[in-house]
Structure 1
């Protein structure tokens, strides 16, 4: 596929921005980036389904499942005594399964379900990262 010089430059700029964002991110910020990208892919897949664009839907859902499995699930600390980590792992696995079903049956309902399940977790990460940033700020001296 041929890309114009402008398109190549734009892609390089976007990739550089993503790399810079990741390189300078804390672990909490990386989690937020994963959740943001997951949300974007889910919205993209939902829109593609309503537009009957099956190819875009499949790509977006494939990326979303990879974010769940290779990003969020892989980031969990594997501790057999940590019930919370196991519950999150199970939830991420369930969401990946639902997205696979959405892809197979061209059904938007599982995508909407995953959005409802993941958005509160993403919001919790935003609060954690904001609190960490607040605690790292130097104290003002009067």
Structure 2
């Protein structure tokens, strides 16, 4: 199937060529985007849009949970936090509560920002290693 939309082609290419770390970053950003839309939908009393976007955010958090390596202690801690986030998203959906969405948005933003730093540090280490080989 050919993609005629250049933006869609770029997005598809971004996903297929991204490293696992970059994919995780994309998931965090996607979740934040859907939470933002859901918050706006609550303001506008658009229940269907709110529900759809909270469910999309939950699907992303569920995907993050599935991909964790549970052999690592940090992953077990993340699993608990992701589970908490998913429960809070359900509660926000049922109660139409922007405050809960803002809490979850803050948590995911912290994860995203930390993950972005990890990627940057790893890139710096890779580049430093390549510089020594030359």
Give the TM-score normalised by the residue count of structure 2: 0.87
| Displacement over 6 Å in runs of 4+ | none
Superimposed CA distance per residue, residues 27-85 of structure 1 (whole angstroms, 9 cap, x where no aligned partner): 11011000110111111111111111111111110000000002x11121021xx3321
1:136: Cα distance to partner? 2.6
| 1:92 match | 82
* 5+ residue gaps, structure 1: 1-7
Rounded Cα–Cα distance in structure 2 between residues aligned with 1:19 and 1:136: 26
| Aligned pairs, number | 129
Aligned with residue 35 of structure 1, among 21, 28, 35? 28
| 2:68 match | 76
| 2:91 match | 101
Aligned-partner SS, 2:131:
coil
1:15: Cα distance to partner? 3.0
Give the TM-score normalised by the residue count of structure 1: 0.83
* 5+ residue gaps, structure 2: none
1:122 corresponds to 2:127: no
| 1:110 match | 100
